[in-house]
Structures are given as structure tokens and as C-alpha cells.
């Protein structure tokens, strides 16, 4: 029940007007003889909080015999009854406690930073991504063994994923694929895209309509990109981390990607915060039982520290599939 409705009911009991009291009895479904007017000097108490199981009208019984009324029944009866009172049309135009909205709901933009990479020693391809967006792994990363890896983000055009992989499979380079996809997209200036092909060629695109900071880096075997970031230092940190681990040959592609993602977060990451992360690595017959190419497919859909959780899941994967991690194929 609204505060305004409660005050109106209390005011009726204070009028001592037979007609007003009769109206109240009709609304409540109570015999008129059981309703007494509140003494004029009686000051109505503060309206009770919504979590109370019953409603009181003060020390003196304003409603005799129903001093404690089941709250739900009270609200239902009084709300239905007041709607039928002969009050002005303006008052009936909307509920007493409803206010006109002052502004339209604000729609949040989706911010993301990602890295797509290739390991020339094993042939593994993959994408790592983090965002202040729920379940980013269901949108951004796409990859196919022996073909390429794609990250599509910023008002993501998810058709870039399957369409891009098809173009790569037909022999298009990463650069040609980016140009083909974006040239056919009327909203390309809002998009961001990163692609690495199976030869290690990389190409990215950042539309002029992406929210700042937005940009990318293209290097042999990887590309890093992001939008609504704290600054260029985020993609710089990802690139530096990937290059160092690749040069040192420490770990595999999954480690290079996951560590690059953490480096980007440590450098500032998404300017709005963080929520989800994902890691996708494909390898020929690398899936469970060799039935597909999804060697690693990990997602953290909603977490306070998604990259930390993603790395924990990666370690579990390594513990469970030690042989696959210890004996990767030769690219």
C-alpha cells in the first residue's frame, strides 16, 4: 500500500463524518457499526514498514474489532474500493503513488577486450576475452582448427564468426576476410573485429563509432583489440605479454592468451569494470575423445574477478587432461 493511500484512509476516520465512515466500511467489507472515528486530537502514527504482517491505526482503535488486519486483505480491499469512489477523473488517471517517469531507462554499451592468437609450433588457434557484459563467451570468440580464430565485439555482429571462418576456409587471408566482412556491413563503424588465420597472419578493424578508448594492435600470430577501455595501455600490455611468452616458449597458446588477458586487466581493462571472461582454443581432434576440435572451451559468465576464475578453470583443465597439455601436436 502507498503512503498516500494510508494517509487518505486515516483522514477519513478523523472526519467523524457518517458518510465518509460509511464509504470506508464499504471499501473494507466491514459493518459500519464497527468503525469509530479517531479522536480529533489523535495524531496518526508513522505509517508502518512494508515487512509488517499487520497494520495498526494507533493506540486508540480507529477501527474497532479489526485493530490488526491482514495486510494483503487490507491492501486488496482498499485498493479496489478507492478505484470506485466518486473522485475527480484526474485523480483516477493513475494510482496515487505512481509518478511520471522522468527519463527513459539507460541502455549500457558492451565493452570488451580480447586477443586472438596462433601457435606456429602446435597449430593451435584461439581467443581469450573479458568484458563488463554477461556471458561474453557466448558472443565474441569463434575458431576452427586449421582455419583461424575470430573475435567479434562492440555491438557485436555475430555473423562475423561463422561467415569469417567460412571465408578463411576458402583461402582468404585474415586481412581479406576483415575487409570482406566489414564492407558488407552497414553498421561497420560501430564494430570491432580481430582475426588470425592458420598461417599466423593477423588483421583487426575498429570502427570510428566504437566508444573510447577503442583500438587494436596487429602482430604476427596475434591481434589484440578493445573498446571502452581505460586507455591504449590495455592492448599494449596484452601484446607485450603474448610476445614475451611466445618468445620464451613458456606454456602453450592457452597460457599466452590467458596471461595476456590478465596483463590487460592489470593495465586498466574495461573502464566500466568486469563481469565475464572466456577462453577458446581449438586443435585438430583436440576435443573430448577426439570427436571435435574444441580443445579448451572455458567460460565464466558472471563473476567479480572473471579472469582469476578463468585461470583457475584452466588449471583444472590442465590437471584433468595432463597428457594433451604435455604432448601437443606439432604444427
Could you list the beta-strand ranges (E) of the chain. Answer: 54-55, 69-70, 112-118, 125-131, 141-144, 148-153, 192-197, 202-206, 215-219, 222-227, 276-282, 294-300
pLDDT over 80 at 8, yes or no: no
Q: What is the pLDDT of residue 25?
A: 53
pLDDT over 90 at 30, yes or no: no
The mean per-residue pLDDT over the stretch 57-67 comes to 40
Residue 274's pLDDT band (boundaries 50, 70, 90)? confident
pLDDT over 50 at 71, yes or no: no
Residue 273's pLDDT band (boundaries 50, 70, 90)? confident
Residue 152's pLDDT band (boundaries 50, 70, 90)? very high
Task: State the DSSP code for 84.
Answer: T
CATH H superfamily, domain 112-326: Aminohydrolase, N-terminal nucleophile (Ntn) domain (3.60.20.10)
Q: Are strands 192-197 and 148-153 parallel, antiparallel or unpaired?
A: antiparallel
For the chain, the structural domain boundaries read: 3-92, 112-326
The mean per-residue pLDDT over the stretch 199-217 comes to 97
Q: Using an 8 Å Cβ cutoff, are 12 and 37 in contact?
A: no
CA distance 126 to 138: 14
The mean per-residue pLDDT over the stretch 258-286 comes to 91
User: 119, exposed or middle or buried, with CB in 10 Å at 0-12, 13-18, 19+?
Assistant: buried
Count of C-beta atoms within a 10 Å radius of residue 7: 13
The mean per-residue pLDDT over the stretch 141-161 comes to 97
Share of the chain above pLDDT 70, in %: 66
Residue (of 246, 240, 233, 224) closest to 130 by Cα position:
224
Residue (of 26, 28, 71, 64) closest to 48 by Cα position:
71
CA distance 117 to 16: 81
C-alpha cell, 112 = 570488451
Mean pLDDT of the chain: 79
Q: What is the pLDDT of residue 20?
A: 56
Task: State the DSSP code for 53.
Answer: S
| Structure confidence by residue, pLDDT tens digits, 154-178 | 999 999 999 999 999 999 999 999 9
Task: State the DSSP code for 63.
Answer: B
Q: What is the pLDDT of residue 97?
A: 45
C-alpha cell, 185 = 556491413
pLDDT over 90 at 82, yes or no: no
The mean per-residue pLDDT over the stretch 180-207 comes to 97
The mean per-residue pLDDT over the stretch 275-283 comes to 97
CA distance 75 to 63: 15
pTM for this prediction: 0.68
The mean per-residue pLDDT over the stretch 235-250 comes to 94
Q: What is the pLDDT of residue 331?
A: 72
Q: What is the pLDDT of residue 69?
A: 41
Q: How many helices (H) and strands (E) does the chain have?
A: 10, 12
Quickly tell me which residue has 577503442 as its cell: 214
Residue 56's pLDDT band (boundaries 50, 70, 90)? very low
Higher pLDDT: 110 or 308? It is 308
| Structure confidence by residue, pLDDT tens digits, 90-134 | 444 444 444 444 554 444 555 689 999 999 999 999 999 999 889
Amino acid at each position: 500500500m502507498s503512503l498516500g493511500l494510508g494517509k487518505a484512509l486515516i483522514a477519513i476516520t478523523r472526519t467523524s463524518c457518517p458518510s465518509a465512515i460509511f464509504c470506508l466500511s464499504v471499501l473494507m467489507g466491514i459493518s459500519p457499526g464497527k468503525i469509530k472515528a479517531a479522536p480529533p486530537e489523535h495524531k496518526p502514527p508513522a505509517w508502518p514498514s512494508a515487512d509488517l504482517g499487520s497494520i495498526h491505526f494507533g493506540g486508540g482503535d480507529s477501527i474497532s474489532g479489526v485493530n490488526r488486519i491482514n495486510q494483503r486483505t487490507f491492501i486488496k480491499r482498499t485498493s479496489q474500493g478507492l478505484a470506485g469512489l466518486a473522485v475527480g477523473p484526474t485523480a483516477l488517471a493513475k494510482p496515487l503513488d505512481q509518478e511520471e517517469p522522468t527519463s527513459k531507462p539507460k541502455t549500457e554499451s558492451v565493452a570488451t577486450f580480447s586477443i586472438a592468437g596462433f601457435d606456429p609450433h602446435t597449430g593451435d588457434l584461439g581467443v581469450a576475452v573479458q568484458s563488463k557484459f554477461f556471458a561474453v563467451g557466448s558472443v565474441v570468440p569463434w575458431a576452427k582448427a586449421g582455419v583461424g580464430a575470430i573475435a567479434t565485439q562492440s555491438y557485436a555482429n555475430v555473423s562475423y564468426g561463422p561467415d569469417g571462418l567460412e571465408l578463411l576456409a576458402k583461402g582468404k587471408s585474415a586481412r581479406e576476410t576483415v575487409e570482406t566482412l566489414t564492407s558488407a556491413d552497414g553498421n561497420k563503424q560501430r564494430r570491432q573485429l580481430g582475426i588470425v588465420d592458420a598461417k599466423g597472419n593477423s588483421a583487426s578493424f575498429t570502427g570510428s563509432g566504437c566508444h573510447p578508448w577503442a583500438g587494436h594492435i596487429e602482430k604476427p600470430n596475434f591481434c589484440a583489440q578493445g573498446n571502452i577501455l581505460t586507455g591504449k595501455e590495455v592492448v599494449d600490455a596484452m601484446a607485450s605479454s603474448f610476445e614475451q611468452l611466445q618468445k620464451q616458449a613458456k606454456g602453450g597458446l592457452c597460457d599466452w592468451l590467458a596471461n595476456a588477458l590478465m596483463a590487460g586487466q592489470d593495465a586498466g581493462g574495461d573502464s566500466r569494470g568486469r563481469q565475464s571472461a572466456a577462453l577458446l582454443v581449438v586443435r585438430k581432434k583436440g576435443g573430448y575423445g577426439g570427436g571435435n576440435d574444441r580443445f579448451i572451451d572455458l567460460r565464466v559468465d558472471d563473476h567479480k574477478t572473471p579472469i582469476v576464475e578463468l585461470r583457475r578453470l584452466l588449471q583444472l583443465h590442465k590437471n584433468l587432461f595432463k597428457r594433451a597439455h604435455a604432448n601437443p601436436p606439432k604444427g
